[in-house]
Amino acid sequence: MNLAEARLTARANQTGWYGLPGHRPWATAACVLLLLLTLMAPLNGLVEGTDWMFWFAAFGGGVLVLGAALRALGLPGWVVTITQILVVPPALIACFAGGHAILGVFPNGETWQRFSEMGKNVALAIVLEYAPLSPQIGLTALVALGAAVVAIVFDWYTFTVRAPAATGLFMALVMVLPVAFLREGLALSTLVLPAAAYLLVLAVTNPVGRPRLPVPGAGLLKLFGALRSVVVGCVALALAAAAAWALPGLTSEPLIKPSVGPARFVSGVNPLVELGSDLRQQGDDEVLRYTTDAGPMYLRMTSLSQFDGTRWTHRKGQQVAFEPERSTKLPGISESGLLPTYGAQAEVFIEITNLRATTLPAPYLPLAVREAAGEWVVDQDDLTISAELASTTDQAYTVTVVTPRGLDSGLDEVMTVTKAVAAELALPEDLPQIIGQTAVEVLAEAAQSPDYDGSYVAQARALQDYFRRSGGFTYSTSTPVEDGFDGDSAAVVARFLEVKSGYCVHFAAAMTLMARYLGIPARIAIGYLPGSPVVGSGGGSGAGQPVTYSVKANQLHAWPELYLPGAGWVGFEPTAARADAPSYAPDPSSTATSSASGSASPTPSPSRSQASPRSRSASPDVTETATATATVPGGLAGGTVWPGWVTVAPGGLGGLAVLALAALGPMVGRRARRRGRLLGDQALAGAWDEVHDTATDLGLGVGPALTPADFGRHLKDLVGGGEAGAAVDFLVADVERAAYQPGGLTGAVAGGEQRAGYRAAVAAIVRALGLTVPRGRRLRAALWPRTLRRPHRS
């Protein structure tokens, strides 16, 4: 054993990789990897979908495998950890911001911006959303980063500190997440696998009792040692499973119940942004169901009318108790009774199944609410029904509503701006030019049509038509996030008008602002789409029969309400992909159908008189289709729907490729150098340097004070005679002549024949040298060549 070899062994002993007698490093690494993967069980449910598992496994597993490989090469523990830490950021960038970085890996300003936006969105989601969080890209990146950090810590504790038991502490930290965020809390059953894996790690890293002496039967004992770990793990697993079975209450009920409830509705500081998040994340859990004989209805919860340029907020008006006799004071209802735009009254029975909010969902325009538990008041300005102390949870109540009749008659031509609607005309001072400009252009375009009469109704219809049809807008819940303009500020609306892709919030905000620009008071209503009839609820039994509709969480919606003189507040539907246009402002193309069959679809306030049995049975289908396509970017264009994993898989493969490259990079670089040297102009020098570096890589290196002849002798001592020995002689002789003979190797050096000779010589020497060292060193030389940074150069 030469000095270098001795040093290598000594260093390997310090790494902890080979340190413990009978220590099986690869087995340990495998167990730690298993432990990491089992952590996904308790974390399940934090993030929606299964994509996050892939990233968790890819980053966590990648870091562990990288660590194991580096340690196997004999690198010191701190080098391994630092390498792991260094590999993670480029991998993250490549996987999650590849298009915003130099060469997909190196961060630039754009990268930071992107990550900061992702961070903001994630922070918002964590603060505002309940688990499972919607699988937005930032969250996935966070999962990947978290997995990498956990893996690095596990690796560090297990191999460098040699305190594998300490990984348990970190496991406990990880467990805090489900306790804090999961609705169900931390279920004991999910801890079975991690606990078993943890015990397995402890068993495999515990060297006590290992046979250390070469006694007869030591091999058998070793086998038993290995088996013991497996047995310990299995027993632990069995015990945990038995405990789980014996205490069924623990597995079915949350171990630690979180304080947060199941329901959620916009109530935070930034309702529209929340709504956007909700749209992306909420599933198809039913939030409420309602029964009425007046057809499907939008369920409005509140409206947002104050806009300061960056944020929409609810303008709180005077709160009054909900009493029928006072309803005449409500907007839209004249002293003489109902406005001509409103039709008959209807009763709607609403059952909240899974929604916690402080405002009651109700169709517009509510006249009275009965049977609601707690004290509810109504906002005189926008008819938001709210409670200070009550909640919607488990409420069942009946709302009396009036439904719109139509906008074709009885409208005033003159806008009387009352105090009640003045706020709904306000525009921020720095309103982007494009908003007003687009509004004017839309009207100018609409004026080409013979039907256009310039009335407020016509203007409103033109705006709606612009968003639904002529403007070329597409519905997407992801585009705003990906393009970084998610939100509800005026700038976002401006960007939305450029990109022409967004979701209901953007459509609603854009139409609201444009209407205000045109002098029409407007606000954003928030609530739920009409939902779909419950099968067997009597939907097909004929007109006048009550039908029960089910509304799901992901049918959360925002739409503009415009104040039309003589008609009061009227809802519009610019978001084509989510629902059809209201009957009083139908799409031009479907005008014929609408007028023929009455309400062909759920409308903000469908008229009972217009609803036919046929149309009612047909309408749910339409809604379902609309809802299904709504979540797909470009759904209007009928694009193919790809499953999530298909779009994520390439990124994941990219991530793996980055990790693999990081691990194989040195080898690739070293190979490339060999090739370059042997094919370059300086064939002899290249061959000589290559032989030098190969020897050094294999730990057979020599000092700089060795003459070519000495080095040749050194090599021949290693490889012996034969082909490789002859190759050494050949090279040394040529090197000596080239370097020291008068005139050098005239003319012969650059010759192709000569080059082939050198190449063959180097190949023979490299092959023979490789055989003189153990396989481990050969592998190390290949994966982690020492001369990568400091190549020999004669």
Partner 1 sequence: MVDSPAQTRRSFSVRPTAVPTESNLFEAIAGQAAGIEQNIGRVISGKGRVIRLAVTAFLAHGHLLIEDVPGVGKTMLAKALAASIGATVRRIQFTPDLLPSDVTGAPIFNQQTREFDFEPGPVFANIVIGDEINRASPRTQSALLECMEERQVTVEGTTYALDNPFLVVATQNPIDMEGTHALLEAQRDRFMMRISMGYPDEAAEQDMVKARAHGEPIEQISPVVTLKTARDMIEGCQQVHVADAITAYAVAITRASRSHQALRLGASPRAAVHLVAAGRAYAAMHGRGYVLPDDIQYLAEPVLAHRLMAISPASGLEAAAQLRAIVRGVVESVPVPVPIRG
Q: Is 429 in the site for partner 1 (CB under 8 A)?
A: no
Q: Find the binder of partner 1 among 208, 321, 742, 775 (CB under 8 A).
A: 742
Per-residue tokens: 465? 């038509």
Pick 287 or 724: Cβ nearer partner 1: 724
Q: Find the binder of partner 1 among 130, 397, 730, 784 (CB under 8 A).
A: 730
Q: Find the binder of partner 1 among 703, 775, 789, 790 (CB under 8 A).
A: 703
Q: Is 740 in the site for partner 1 (CB under 8 A)?
A: yes
Please work out the total of residues on this chain that contact partner 1, with binding judged by CB under 8 A.
40
Least distance in Å: CB of 104 to partner 1? 37
The H or E element that residue 321 is part of is strand 319-321
Which amino acid is residue 577, in one-letter code?
A
Note if the bond before 365 is cis, omega within 30 degrees: yes
Q: Is 750 in the site for partner 1 (CB under 8 A)?
A: yes
Per-residue tokens: 51? 């994509």
Pick 680 or 774: Cβ nearer partner 1: 680
Cross-strand partners of 501: 474
Residues 754-783 that bind partner 1 (CB under 8 A): 756-758, 760-761, 764
Q: Is 176 in the site for partner 1 (CB under 8 A)?
A: no
Q: Is 715 in the site for partner 1 (CB under 8 A)?
A: no
SS3 track for 246-300: HCHHHHHCCCCCCCCCCCCCCCCCCHHHHHHHHHHHCCCCEEEEEEECCCCECEE
Least distance in Å: CB of 734 to partner 1? 8
Pick 478 or 754: Cβ nearer partner 1: 754
Least distance in Å: CB of 740 to partner 1? 4
Report which of 164, 193, 149, 146 is spatially closest to residue 25, judged by C-alpha positions.
Answer: 164
Sort 538 into a burial class: Cβ within 10 Å, 0-12 / 13-18 / 19+.
middle
Least distance in Å: CB of 709 to partner 1? 5
Least distance in Å: CB of 673 to partner 1? 16
Pick 154 or 730: Cβ nearer partner 1: 730
Per-residue tokens: 736? 């000596």
Phi, psi of 379 (to 5 degrees): -80, 125
Q: Is 731 in the site for partner 1 (CB under 8 A)?
A: yes
Pick 335 or 681: Cβ nearer partner 1: 681
Q: Find the binder of partner 1 among 475, 708, 718, 780 (CB under 8 A).
A: 708
Using the rule CB under 8 A, give the single segment among 374-382, 418-426, 472-480, 741-749 that binds partner 1.
741-749
Give the separation between CA 773 and CA 769, rounded to whole angstroms: 7
Least distance in Å: CB of 73 to partner 1? 28
Q: Mask of contacts with partner 1, 114-133, x by CB under 8 A?
A: --------------------
| Inter-CA distances, 445 with 452, 465, 470, 496, 500, Å | 10, 11, 10, 20, 18
Pick 155 or 689: Cβ nearer partner 1: 689
Residues in Cβ contact with 339 at an 8 Å cutoff, skipping those fewer than 6 apart? 332, 333, 410, 566, 567, 568
The H or E element that residue 314 is part of is none
Using the rule CB under 8 A, give the single segment among 107-115, 203-211, 238-246, 750-758 that binds partner 1.
750-758
Q: Mask of contacts with partner 1, 646-685, x by CB under 8 A?
A: -----------------------------------xx-xx
Least distance in Å: CB of 18 to partner 1? 32
Least distance in Å: CB of 708 to partner 1? 6
Residues in Cβ contact with 740 at an 8 Å cutoff, skipping those fewer than 6 apart? none
Per-residue tokens: 641? 């729907």
Q: Is 717 in the site for partner 1 (CB under 8 A)?
A: no
Least distance in Å: CB of 677 to partner 1? 12
Report which of 452, 455, 449, 616 is spatially closest to residue 532, judged by C-alpha positions.
Answer: 616
Residues in Cβ contact with 711 at an 8 Å cutoff, skipping those fewer than 6 apart? 692, 702, 732
DSSP per-residue codes, 728-794: HHHHHHHHHHHHHSTT-STTTTT-HHHHHHHHHHHHHHHHHHHHTS-HHHHHHHHHS-GGGTS----
Using the rule CB under 8 A, give the single segment among 22-30, 425-433, 519-527, 745-753 that binds partner 1.
745-753
Residue showing tokens 């290598």:
8
What's the start-to-end Cα distance of the chain, in Å? 27
Phi, psi of 624 (to 5 degrees): -60, -45
Q: How far is CA 275 from the centre of its chain?
A: 17
Least distance in Å: CB of 655 to partner 1? 42
Pick 275 or 738: Cβ nearer partner 1: 738
Pick 128 or 735: Cβ nearer partner 1: 735
Sort 433 into a burial class: Cβ within 10 Å, 0-12 / 13-18 / 19+.
exposed
Least distance in Å: CB of 6 to partner 1? 19
Q: Is 4 in the site for partner 1 (CB under 8 A)?
A: no
Pick 216 or 742: Cβ nearer partner 1: 742
Q: Is 744 in the site for partner 1 (CB under 8 A)?
A: yes
Least distance in Å: CB of 9 to partner 1? 24
Q: Is 706 in the site for partner 1 (CB under 8 A)?
A: yes
Pick 569 or 711: Cβ nearer partner 1: 711
Per-residue tokens: 743? 């005139």
Q: Find the binder of partner 1 among 153, 460, 727, 768 (CB under 8 A).
A: 727
Least distance in Å: CB of 20 to partner 1? 38
Q: Is 737 in the site for partner 1 (CB under 8 A)?
A: yes
Secondary structure letter of residue 213 according to DSSP: S
Pick 661 or 748: Cβ nearer partner 1: 748
Give the separation between CA 612 and CA 487, rounded to whole angstroms: 39
Residues in Cβ contact with 375 at an 8 Å cutoff, skipping those fewer than 6 apart? 387, 388, 389, 390
Q: Is 753 in the site for partner 1 (CB under 8 A)?
A: yes
Q: Find the binder of partner 1 among 704, 775, 789, 790 (CB under 8 A).
A: 704
The H or E element that residue 319 is part of is strand 319-321
Q: Find the binder of partner 1 among 735, 766, 768, 773 (CB under 8 A).
A: 735
Least distance in Å: CB of 767 to partner 1? 12
Q: Is 696 in the site for partner 1 (CB under 8 A)?
A: no
Q: Find the binder of partner 1 among 556, 662, 738, 773 (CB under 8 A).
A: 738
Q: Is 243 in the site for partner 1 (CB under 8 A)?
A: no
Give the separation between CA 487 and CA 481, rounded to whole angstroms: 9
Give contact residues for partner 1 (rule: CB under 8 A).
Answer: 681-682, 684-685, 688, 703-710, 723, 726-727, 729-731, 733, 735-742, 744-745, 749-750, 753, 756-758, 760-761, 764, 794
